[in-house]
Structure 1
Amino acid sequence: MEAFGVGGIDYLDQIMLDYPGPDCESIEGQWSAFQEMHAQKLTKSISVSNFSPRQLDCVLEKATVKPVVNQLPISVAYHPGDSIAENNKRGILVQAWAPLGGSLGGRFDGNIKKACAKIGKKYNKSFAQVALRWIVQSGGSFTTQTKNKDHFAEDLNIFDFELTDEEMKTLSSLA
């Protein structure tokens, strides 16, 4: 915590516990340290990354501050089980990392890109916009990265259309 004085940093907007310990006892210890940082106003919010429902329950069992976000590898190409719903029912927002594929976010093979692009034609949207819209309509949020301002603007331009139930089912079946 002494590192906060370096560079004039007084607090963090959010800190995220990534890849939890192997058991509830270690997870509870890690989370306790995060809650202490929150209590000392060194961070505005505390979150987790790559936590399973069981690991979330370890945190929630003794938490005085609930995680705001669970950042998970979620995409049209990769969405294990009901991970978004499991987090949402615990009051935790899912933020998808690698939402357009890659690494653990699942590879967007030709069939997935074609399916997203086909749906996108109906709305005058790119395959990426359709894939990101699917995440939002599934109850999640996402983070993307780009150095291209046009791609960034495109990623944000997904709130002027809505996928039908049938389109959601089609995209959900592709993983």
Structure 2
Amino acid sequence: MGNQEQYLLNDGHLIPKIGLGTFQIRGYEGVEQILTAIQSGYRLLDTSTNYDSEGAVGEAIRRSGIPRSQFFVTTKLPGKYHHFDDALKIIEESLLRMGLSYVDLYLIHWPLPKRDNYVEAWQALIEAKKRGFVRSIGVSNFEEEHLEKIIKATGVTPAVNQNEIHPYWPQENLVKTNQKYGILTEAWSPLGRGSHELEEPVIKELAVKYGKNTGQIILRWQLDRGILPIAKAVSPEHQRKNIDLFDFSLASEEIKQITALEKTDGRVDNQDPNEYEEFE
């Protein structure tokens, strides 16, 4: 998958160490933005049924001239389709929208524990993998109790858990939980939202030290913690910078300094996975 370094998932598949997020990237303009990212070297493309960008991702892959096998495509299950049959149908629908015969990684987008159908949703993902619709299966925004419940119910451990992780919300305990189960942690909103984290003095000092921008320092902090950041960027310059992370690494003390920026109210939109009712 290009020249990127890769992580090995617990099911034996390889995944690039950084991905392009496509939230709010859609339509023909979105196709062009994804194409520029592909040209910059991105091969992991992260979408979701709820992002309405699946079509743009599929079209960009076709227009790129690069074989499908070189890409790692992720999409996600919306909360309204957590029942078994509904989940399988919407997975098929995602494949139709993208014009692909399979996706590399399929995630349950949110656990929605108030509704408590996520075990059934996980069973549907296991079935989708058996049918060849998806190669790896995982979850997003799952806390330890949610992970324990699906693993105990099915005996199948997710390959990935995609969580909100950035300097104001580093999620040290959850990252350790994922590691305990052999689950790769992905980070959504890895730079936070807005520019506050990019302006933190410690991060600015490290940017000067390493000759990088502050966004690159934060993304490297994610990688040095064994996390895969899903970074959204629409400008070609930002796309290129966000992927240019593999010629340096942070010292352990520097990693701790960034992690220490944690805030008790650090979530970007106060989306607590135990309370959040997804896009409703």
TM bin (shorter chain): 0.7 to 0.9
- For residues 94 and 243 of structure 2, the distance between their equivalents in structure 1, rounded to whole angstroms, comes to 32
2:256 paired with 1:169: yes
Instruction: Call closer, same or farther: CA 1:88–1:125 in 2, change over 3 Å.
Output: same
Map of 2:218 onto structure 1? 131
Q: Can you give the 5+ residue segments of structure 1 that lack an aligned partner in the other structure? A: none
Map of 2:170 onto structure 1? 79
Secondary structure, counterpart of 1:143 in structure 2: strand
Instruction: Call closer, same or farther: CA 1:6–1:174 in 2, change over 3 Å.
Output: closer
Q: Which amino acid aligns with 1:136?
A: L
Q: Using structure 1 for the length normalisation, give the TM-score.
A: 0.87
- For residues 197 and 160 of structure 2, the distance between their equivalents in structure 1, rounded to whole angstroms, comes to 31
Map of 2:136 onto structure 1? 45
Q: How does 1:1-175 map to 2 (within 5 A)?
A: 1=89, 3=93, 6=96, 8-22=99-113, 26-102=117-193, 108-109=195-196, 113-175=200-262
Instruction: Call closer, same or farther: CA 1:90–1:67 in 2, change over 3 Å.
Output: same
Is the contact made by 1:27 and 1:58 (CA closer than 8 Å) also made in structure 2? no
Deviations along 1:134-163, whole A, 9 cap, x unmatched?
111112111111111221111111121121
Shift of 1:110: 6.4
Aligned-residue sequence identity (percent) comes to 29
- For residues 127 and 97 of structure 1, the distance between their equivalents in structure 2, rounded to whole angstroms, comes to 17
Worse-matched range after superposition: 91-100 or 5-14: 5-14
Shift of 1:64: 4.6
Shift of 1:12: 2.0
Shift of 1:122: 0.9
- For residues 95 and 211 of structure 2, the distance between their equivalents in structure 1, rounded to whole angstroms, comes to 49
- For residues 75 and 95 of structure 1, the distance between their equivalents in structure 2, rounded to whole angstroms, comes to 11
- For these two proteins, the number of residue pairs brought into alignment is 171
Instruction: Call closer, same or farther: CA 1:149–1:5 in 2, change over 3 Å.
Output: closer
Q: Using structure 2 for the length normalisation, give the TM-score.
A: 0.56
Shift of 1:21: 3.6
Q: Which amino acid aligns with 2:203?
A: C
Kindly report the root-mean-square deviation, in angstroms, between the aligned alpha carbons of the 2 structures.
2.2
- For residues 85 and 160 of structure 1, the distance between their equivalents in structure 2, rounded to whole angstroms, comes to 26
Instruction: Call closer, same or farther: CA 1:30–1:89 in 2, change over 3 Å.
Output: same
Instruction: Call closer, same or farther: CA 1:4–1:174 in 2, change over 3 Å.
Output: closer
Secondary structure, counterpart of 2:231 in structure 1: coil
- For residues 231 and 197 of structure 2, the distance between their equivalents in structure 1, rounded to whole angstroms, comes to 21
Shift of 1:114: 2.4
Q: Can you give the 5+ residue segments of structure 2 that lack an aligned partner in the other structure? A: 1-88, 263-280
The structure 1 segments of at least 4 consecutive aligned residues displaced by more than 6 Å after TM superposition are none
- For residues 115 and 94 of structure 1, the distance between their equivalents in structure 2, rounded to whole angstroms, comes to 24
- For residues 138 and 4 of structure 1, the distance between their equivalents in structure 2, rounded to whole angstroms, comes to 32
- For residues 94 and 120 of structure 2, the distance between their equivalents in structure 1, rounded to whole angstroms, comes to 21
- For residues 134 and 79 of structure 1, the distance between their equivalents in structure 2, rounded to whole angstroms, comes to 10
- For residues 110 and 53 of structure 1, the distance between their equivalents in structure 2, rounded to whole angstroms, comes to 27
Worse-matched range after superposition: 7-16 or 86-95: 7-16
Shift of 1:37: 0.6
Shift of 1:4: 6.1
